[in-house]
Amino acid sequence: MSSPSRIPIDARSESTIVEADRQADSQLEKGHVEPAASIPINALDASDNSFSKARVAMIVFLATLAAFISPMTANVFLPALPTVAKDLNVSLGRINLAVFIYMIGQGVSPLFLGGSDALGRRSIYIICFVLYSGANAGLANLPDGDFGGLLVLRFMQACGSASMIAIGAGVVNDVCTPKNRGSLMSIVQAGSTLGPAVGPVLGGIFTQAFGWRGTFWFTFVLGVFVLALVLFFLPETIALARENRRIPLPIRTAWVDLWSHRAEPRSGQASSGDKADEANGHRSASQISRRILQACATPFRALAVVRQPEILLALLAFALPFACFYGLTVPLSSQFEQRYGLSTLQSGLVFLAPGFGVSLSAFSSGRLLDRSFRKVRADFESTWKQDPSEPHGNESRRGSEAPSQAPSQGDGTKSISKAEMLAFFPLERARLEYYPYWTALMLAGFIIYGWTLEKNVYIAVPIISTCEL
C-alpha cells in the first residue's frame, strides 16, 4: 500500500484545514489509515485570523441582525390576520394560508439560496436582502382583494429571509475558533429565536398605529437598512471567495474597505491576479449567472448529509424542540385573547416573556458550551500527549486504529493528523453535555403552560411558564 501524500496545513486558515480534511477522508476511504497530514493539536483553534476582534464583533452583530429578520417576519403578521382577512374579503381559515406558505418558503428556499460556500456569504446575503425588500414593498402596496398576490409575495418574502439563519451560522464558523464558537453561535441563535417572540409585539404596534400595510412598510425599511449595513461593513468571510478576483469587487468586498484601499493593491502595485484579469477580462454577467444557476441546479445535494447517522440525530435533536416552540408561539396570541380577554396589542406583549427567556438562555448556554468544550479538550490533549496510542480512550468514528506513535513538532508538542483529530476527539460530548437538562426544563415548561392555560389559572403563571420554555 502506497503511503498517502503529505498535505501542507496552515493552522491559521480554516479553509485549508477543511480541504485537508476532505483529502484525508478520501484517502481513508481508499484504505489509507496512516496520517494524511501532521498538524499541531492546537489546530482545533484554526480560524480565519485576518479579522480583528472589532471586525469579528461587527460581523457577528450583522449575522445576528440578519438571523433575527426571518422568524420575526414570520410572526409580525399574526396580530394583523383578522384585519387582513377583512380587507381581502377572505375567511380567517384562508388567511392562515399566508402563514403556511411562509413556512413552506422558509423550509424550501435555503436549498436553493444556501450555496454560500460556492458564491460566498456576502453574495448570498445581498441576493436575499434584495429579494426580501422587494417582496415587502409589494406587500405594502398590495391592493384590496388581491389574496393571490398576498400568497405569492409572502412566499417571496420567506425565500428572501430564510437563508439568513443558515448563512449566519456559516459566517460565525468562518471567523471564530471552536473554543469560543459556542458563545458566538449562541448570540446568532438568540437573534433567530428572539424573532418569534418580538415579531407579534411589533406587529401589534404597527397594525394598531398604521394598519396592516404599515407592518410591511416597517419590514421593508428594516430590510433596506440591514442591506446597507451589509454592503458597507460586512466583508466576505470565505477566504477563497474573498480572494477570487473574478467576482466583482463591490460584491466580494465591504465598501468601507474599498474606500480605505484595504481590499486591493494600490495602483502601480498590481498583483499577478490583476494581470491575469487584464489579460483574460473580468467575469461577465452571463458567467456570474451561470455560477449562480449551477449552485441552484442541485439544491437537494445538501440533503445527502442526513444519510450520516450523527448528523440525522443532531438535526432531530434540535429540530423537534424548535418545532415545539413554534407550535407554542403561533397560537399564543389567540389563546390569551380567548381565555383572558386581552386586546390584540396586549396579547402581542405576552410574547415578551418567551423572548426574554430565549435571550437569557442563548447567552448562558453559549458560555456553558464553551466551558464544556475547554474541559473536554483539556482532557483530550492531556491524554494524547501522555499516550498518543490511546487518544482519550475513544473508538475511532471511522473505524481506524489509533496510530502507534505521534510525530513531534520542533517544540516537542505532539501532533495529530486532521483525520485522527476528527476520528477521536469526543466533540459530541463537548457539545451535548447539557442537552438532557435543557430538554427536561423545556418539557416541564410545556406541562406547566398547558395545564395552567386549560384551568384558566391566574394569567401570570402561564406567562412565566413560556419564559421557562
As a three-state string, the secondary structure of 3-53 is CCCCCCCCCCCHHHHHHHHHHHHHHHHCCCCCCCCEEEHHHHHCCCCCCCH
- pLDDT at site 66: 92
**Percent of the chain topping pLDDT 90:** 13
pLDDT-derived band at 262 (thresholds 50, 70, 90) equals low
In the predicted model, what is the mean pLDDT of residues 299-306?
71
pLDDT digits (tens, 9 = 90+) for 25-63: 454 344 443 333 333 434 444 455 577 888 888 999 999
Q: Poorest-confidence range of 175-189, 285-299, 424-438?
A: 285-299
- pLDDT at site 130: 94
The gap from C-alpha 383 to its chain's centroid, in whole angstroms, comes to 34
- pLDDT at site 247: 64
Residue 414 sits at φ, ψ, to 5 deg, of -65, 145
Adjacent-strand bridge partners of 417: 38
pLDDT-derived band at 305 (thresholds 50, 70, 90) equals confident
Q: Which residues of 131-170 are buried (b: 16+ CB within 10 A; e: fewer)?
A: bbbbbbbbbbebeeeebeebbebbbbbbbbbbbbbbbbbb
User: Cell numbers of 162, please?
Assistant: 430564510
Q: Is 172 a residue whose pLDDT tops 50?
A: yes
* Cβ 157 vs Cβ 136: under 8 Å: yes
Using a cut of 0.75, tell me whether the model's pTM lies above it.
Answer: no
Q: Is 22 a residue whose pLDDT tops 80?
A: no
How far apart, in whole angstroms, are the C-alpha atoms of residue 112 and residue 299?
Answer: 5
Instruction: Of 379, 431, 381, give the one whose Cα is nearest residue 406.
Output: 381
Task: Show the domains of the chain with their CATH numbers.
Answer: 53-309 (1.20.1250.20)
pLDDT digits (tens, 9 = 90+) for 76-88: 888 888 888 888 8
Coil vs helix vs strand at 39: strand
* Cβ 458 vs Cβ 77: under 8 Å: no
User: Count of alpha carbons within 13 Å of 259, Cβ hemisphere only?
Assistant: 6
Count of beta carbons in the 10 Å neighbourhood of residue 375: 13
Handedness of CA 363, 316, 450, 68 (dihedral sign): positive
* Cβ 342 vs Cβ 458: under 8 Å: no
pLDDT digits (tens, 9 = 90+) for 111-159: 775 555 667 788 889 989 999 999 999 999 998 888 999 999 999 999 9
- pLDDT at site 155: 94
- pLDDT at site 134: 96
* Cβ 73 vs Cβ 153: under 8 Å: no
- pLDDT at site 170: 83
Q: Is 12 a residue whose pLDDT tops 70?
A: no
Q: Is 216 a residue whose pLDDT tops 90?
A: yes
In the predicted model, what is the mean pLDDT of residues 238-260?
69
How far apart, in whole angstroms, are the C-alpha atoms of residue 416 and residue 380?
Answer: 12
pLDDT digits (tens, 9 = 90+) for 392-444: 444 444 444 444 444 455 555 555 555 666 667 777 777 788 888 888 888 88
- pLDDT at site 290: 57
User: Cell numbers of 388, please?
Assistant: 498518543
CA dihedral 64, 125, 317, 182 (to 10 degrees): -40
Instruction: Of 210, 62, 70, give the one whose Cα is nearest residue 131.
Output: 70
Q: Is 178 a residue whose pLDDT tops 50?
A: yes
In the predicted model, what is the mean pLDDT of residues 233-256?
72
Residues 6+ apart with CB under 8 A from 466: 328, 332, 350, 353, 354, 357, 445, 449
**Percent of the chain topping pLDDT 70:** 67
- pLDDT at site 177: 76
In the predicted model, what is the mean pLDDT of residues 361-373?
78
Q: Poorest-confidence range of 4-8, 332-336, 337-341, 424-428?
A: 4-8
* Listed ranges 164-168, 396-400, 461-465; the one with the highest mean pLDDT: 461-465
Angle at which helices 352-386 and 460-468 cross, to 10°: 30
